[in-house]
Structure 1
Amino acid sequence: MQFFGLIIGSLIVVCGFNLFLIPHHVLSGGLSGISMILGLITPLNTGVANFLLNLPLLIIGYKMLGRRFIVNTIISVVVISLGLYIVPIHEIANDRILSSIFGGAVTGLGVGIVFRCSGSTGGFDIIGMIVSRKRDFPIGILLSGMNAVVIVISGFLFNWDSALNTLVSIYVTGKVVDAIYTDHAKLTLMIITEQGEEMRKHLLSNLYRGLTIIDGVGGYSNGKRNILITVISRYELNEVKNLIKEADPTAFVNISETIEVMGLFHRPSPK
């Protein structure tokens, strides 16, 4: 089901690009926007440019981020790249502003579905996650800065109407993604399981977060339990829930919102 969600979400993104944004020289945010620029000013197809720009990031991300997340991201990037190459560019609406709004909404719908399937559409998302794990730097500021570069390039290469419409498209995309998925709030997970060691190994091998393990005793059964506590971003929730089910389908999990995190939010690098 997750696999089909990734494909459907990615194809929706393709429709947003080729049917609404690209025909009016309106760009998307991030690396996709740069791919659009290359597709508009060079003979290189947008899909080919998207794949070539994402390839080195996917290789780096595979080594530094969770395996499942990157595999799902690779699926999404491949589908989007093929879709941009195969689906013809066709102007659905004549009005550029309407195309910017609806193109941003359609793109946001697709991206939101991909996020819900524990993946991403690649590009700046990978850069942001890598930087945030190496430095205590807000992802939002980083992504906003990179998107601003796309808008400025659009203004100089085409015209400032295109740049402002690109800004509208990026804004609408972000709002729709937030509505379909969630923002990047932090969550605390308390996992109570009889398979403590298996759960620990499975989470640490697939998730770039630390864990605290506490010994416990079942109140009714009087049996030994392990209590694993970790803090994740809401972005990672679906992935972590799948990992927990794989390690112990009977585990009891309490998920609560976290107001603030002090100290390292990521797992320390091994010395």
Structure 2
Amino acid sequence: MLKKLVIIGFGSTMIAIGINAFILPLHLINGGFLGISLLLKYLWGFKVGITFICLSIPVYMFAFKSDSVYFINGVIGALCSGLMIEFFKPLNGMFHLPILSSVIIGAVIIGSGVGVMLRNHISPGGMDLLALLIAKWSRVNVGVIMFAMDALIIITGLFLLQDVKLFYSLIIVAIVGLLASLITTIYREPDGI
């Protein structure tokens, strides 16, 4: 249990730093429920972390019926990630890098956090949890599933915000998906650990 809490703490912190320090200041979006939460912030000023937790609730209910372990890990992962995003809000605007550098650094940090959590059968919540469940049933790599869902969210963001800069979000999604795929493929803990 202590190991899980350390992994959740590390992963959530990485996600929060990547979002607040590198993605949010540029008004870019990520994939999954984080991407939808960022989109709602840009459109109506919603709080990213709290919105993320609220959007994840239906997926928790779905996971509870199919796998209670994924449900518990998802709830803890999403709550911790959402709260850490709110906690690290002061990082917004702290770094002033060229957009491509910010996108790459932010995506690597987020992807590392997400990948480490997924590798240990812990979801940051939301669509990542859904991707984990689909991967378990379909045997398709979780990173590939996440990339497909994330690309759809970014295309929706492009349509709603009509900001060409959002094309950089595709790079974020690609790097996060690639890192999650690599981290979950290179080493997987045996089930039940």
TM-score category, normalised to shorter length = 0.7 to 0.9
Give the aligned partner of residue 103 of structure 1.
106
Shift of the 172–145 alpha-carbon distance from structure 1 to 2, 3 Å rule, reads: closer
For the Cα contact (< 8 Å) 1:112–1:176, is it kept in 2?
Answer: yes
Which residue, 112, 116, 122 being the options, matches 1:113?
116
- Kindly provide the CA deviation profile for residues 136-190 of structure 1, in whole angstroms up to 9, marking residues without a partner as x: 595767544422221112222141222x21001111112222333317xxxxxxx
Q: Which has the higher contact order (CA 8 A, sep 6+)?
A: 2
Give runs of aligned pairs for residues 70-81 of structure 1, distance below 5 A: 70-81=71-82
TM-score by length of 2: 0.84
Give runs of aligned pairs for residues 213-228 of structure 1, distance below 5 A: none
User: Which sits farther off after the overlay, 28-37 or 123-132?
Assistant: 123-132
TM-score by length of 1: 0.62
Q: Which residue identity does 2:77 align to in structure 1? A: S
- For the residues of structure 1 that align with 2:179 and 2:135, how far apart are their CA atoms? 23
Q: Which residue identity does 1:172 align to in structure 2? A: I
Shift of the 40–138 alpha-carbon distance from structure 1 to 2, 3 Å rule, reads: same
- For the residues of structure 1 that align with 2:128 and 2:151, how far apart are their CA atoms? 15
Consecutive unaligned residues of structure 2, counting only runs of 5 or more, are none
- For the residues of structure 1 that align with 2:126 and 2:178, how far apart are their CA atoms? 19
For the Cα contact (< 8 Å) 1:154–1:160, is it kept in 2?
Answer: no
Give the aligned partner of residue 200 of structure 1.
none
- For the residues of structure 2 that align with 1:35 and 1:95, how far apart are their CA atoms? 24
- For the residues of structure 2 that align with 1:153 and 1:132, how far apart are their CA atoms? 24
- Kindly provide the CA deviation profile for residues 74-108 of structure 1, in whole angstroms up to 9, marking residues without a partner as x: 11100111112222252323311111111100001
- For the residues of structure 1 that align with 2:191 and 2:41, how far apart are their CA atoms? 37
Shift of the 125–158 alpha-carbon distance from structure 1 to 2, 3 Å rule, reads: same
Q: How many residues align?
A: 187
CA RMSD across the alignment: 2.4
For the Cα contact (< 8 Å) 1:105–1:173, is it kept in 2?
Answer: yes
Consecutive unaligned residues of structure 1, counting only runs of 5 or more, are 184-233, 243-271
- For the residues of structure 2 that align with 1:115 and 1:138, how far apart are their CA atoms? 14
How much identity, in percent, do the aligned residues show?
A: 22
Whichever structure has more strand as a proportion of its residues is: 1
Q: Which residue identity does 2:83 align to in structure 1? A: L
Q: Which residue identity does 1:9 align to in structure 2? A: G
Which residue, 47, 55, 58 being the options, matches 1:56?
58
* Larger-Rg structure: 1
Give the aligned partner of residue 159 of structure 1.
163
Shift of the 177–161 alpha-carbon distance from structure 1 to 2, 3 Å rule, reads: same
Whichever structure has more helix as a proportion of its residues is: 2
Matched, 1:8 2:27: no
- For the residues of structure 2 that align with 1:144 and 1:112, how far apart are their CA atoms? 13
Give the aligned partner of residue 238 of structure 1.
189
How far does residue 241 in structure 1 lie from its aligned partner after superposition? Answer: 4.5
For the Cα contact (< 8 Å) 2:158–2:164, is it kept in 1?
Answer: yes
- For the residues of structure 1 that align with 2:169 and 2:17, how far apart are their CA atoms? 16
Which residue, 121, 124, 127 being the options, matches 1:124?
127
Shift of the 53–165 alpha-carbon distance from structure 1 to 2, 3 Å rule, reads: same
